[in-house]
């Protein structure tokens, strides 16, 4: 629960506010950029929502916030915002909404598939969200892109009896019981239309998941900047920057139109060729 006595002074007058427990994960600013801004490394309410649509998105951010740092609403309007998750992004791909603090607010995605749904990284495993995931067919596979975004994987496994996937190089004590531990650097087909692609760099065992040659889930390997170009972050590279750049180059062997990261913005291109052009541009900039 956000606390009024910790309310940031930057918040616009009105009921909605951010308190000083914010960890600057950027979720609220991505979900409702006209409402939430950034100051001193924290989010705040730039202006109170006015229209119905603005209010809904502001409250979606409130329920998504991994640290419950947004306050000023309760009851039915909050439950209604919660009930909008998982929220469709494109085709079968949905944003689970609720972020976990232990994964620093990383996005978890639900991909609806006839042969069994795939969850990419772990959302905050709150009951109402899990009930909605169950109503959408549950989860067959939980793909963990890397060691930092595993959050509530054990609870998800217990609820859905799903197989979890993680590269062996990122397995730790808390994930040693993961059912499928990938090895080596070659892509692995997990099922029709599901390709795990090792992309070491951010962590040693980072992997991307390519779905239907269209959607690439990248964890913390690759994301989009505000202008839609692609980005990687040397300051958040925990294993090897050189390897991360090599992993980026390997992605040119695959076709996809979407980049769906754990942190950062999503990138969409009109064609695989356009996405490859973005990749090549980033590679060129990184080698300058
Ligand atoms: S979602 Fe919460 S923790 Fe993340 S930036 Fe917004 S207020 Fe801060």
Domain ranges of the chain: 4-81, 85-286
> Model pTM?
0.96
Q: Euclidean distance between the first and final Cα of the chain, in Å? A: 47
What is the 280 CA–ligand 1 centroid distance (Å)?
32
Give me Rg for the CA atoms of the chain: 19
Instruction: Assign a CATH topology to domain 85-286.
Output: Metallo-beta-lactamase; Chain A (3.60.15)
Contact 170, 239 (CB under 8 A): no
CATH 3.30.70.20 fits 4-81, yes or no: yes
What is the 235 CA–ligand 1 centroid distance (Å)?
20
> Is 65 a pocket residue for ligand 1 (Cβ < 6 Å)?
yes
Model confidence over 131-141: pLDDT tens digits?
Answer: 999 999 999 99
253 pLDDT band, cuts 50/70/90, is very high
Identical fold between 4-81 and 85-286: no
> Is 67 a pocket residue for ligand 1 (Cβ < 6 Å)?
yes
> Is 27 a pocket residue for ligand 1 (Cβ < 6 Å)?
yes
109-129 average pLDDT score: 97
> Computed from CA positions of residues 180, 167, 256, 105, in that sequence, does the dihedral angle turn out positive or negative?
positive
d(CA 207, CA 187): 9
* Sheet strand arrangement including 188-191: 188-191, 194-198, 207-211, 215-219, 258-261, 267-268
> Is 2 a pocket residue for ligand 1 (Cβ < 6 Å)?
no
pLDDT of 288 above 90: no
pLDDT of 232 above 90: yes
What is the 199 CA–ligand 1 centroid distance (Å)?
28
Model confidence over 163-213: pLDDT tens digits?
Answer: 999 999 999 999 999 999 999 999 999 999 999 999 999 999 999 999 999
pLDDT at residue 87, rounded to an integer: 97
Burial class (CB in 10 A: 0-12, 13-18, 19+), 202: buried
Which of 173, 159, 165 is CA-nearest to residue 146?
A: 165
Q: Which atom of ligand 1 is nearest to the CA of 27?
A: 1
pLDDT at residue 228, rounded to an integer: 92
> Is 69 a pocket residue for ligand 1 (Cβ < 6 Å)?
yes
> Is 25 a pocket residue for ligand 1 (Cβ < 6 Å)?
yes
pLDDT of 1 above 90: no
pLDDT at residue 226, rounded to an integer: 87
> Is 60 a pocket residue for ligand 1 (Cβ < 6 Å)?
no
Model confidence over 11-58: pLDDT tens digits?
Answer: 999 999 999 999 999 999 999 999 999 999 999 999 999 999 999 999
């Amino acid at each position: 629960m956000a606390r009024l006595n910790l309310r940031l002074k930057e918040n616009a007058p009105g009921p909605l506010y951010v308190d000083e427990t914010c960890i600057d994960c950027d979720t609220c600013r991505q979900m409702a950029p006209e409402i939430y801004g950034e100051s001193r490394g924290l989010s705040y309410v730039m202006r109170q929502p006015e229209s119905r649509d603005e209010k809904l998105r502001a409250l979606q951010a409130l329920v998504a916030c991994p640290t419950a740092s947004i306050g000023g609403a309760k009851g039915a309007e909050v439950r209604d915002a919660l009930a909008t998750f998982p929220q469709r992004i494109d085709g079968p791909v949905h944003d689970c909404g609720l972020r976990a603090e232990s994964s620093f607010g990383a996005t978890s995605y639900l991909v609806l598939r006839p042969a069994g749904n795939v969850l990419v990284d772990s959302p905050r495993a709150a009951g109402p969200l899990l009930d909605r995931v169950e109503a959408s067919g549950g989860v067959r596979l939980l793909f963990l892109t890397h060691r930092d975004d595993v959050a509530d994987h054990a609870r998800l496994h217990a609820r859905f009896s799903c197989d979890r996937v993680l590269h062996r190089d990122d397995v730790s004590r808390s994930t040693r019981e993961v059912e499928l531990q990938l090895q080596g650097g070659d892509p692995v087909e997990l099922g029709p239309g599901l390709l795990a692609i090792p992309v070491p760099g951010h962590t040693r065992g980072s992997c991307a998941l390519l779905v239907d040659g269209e959607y690439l889930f990248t964890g913390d390997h690759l994301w989009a900047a505000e202008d839609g170009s692609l980005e990687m972050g040397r300051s958040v590279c925990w294993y090897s920057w050189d390897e991360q750049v090599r992993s980026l180059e390997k992605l040119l062997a695959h076709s996809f139109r979407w980049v769906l990261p754990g942190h950062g913005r999503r990138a969409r291109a009109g064609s695989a060729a356009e996405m490859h052009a973005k990749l090549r541009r980033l590679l060129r900039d990184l080698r300058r």
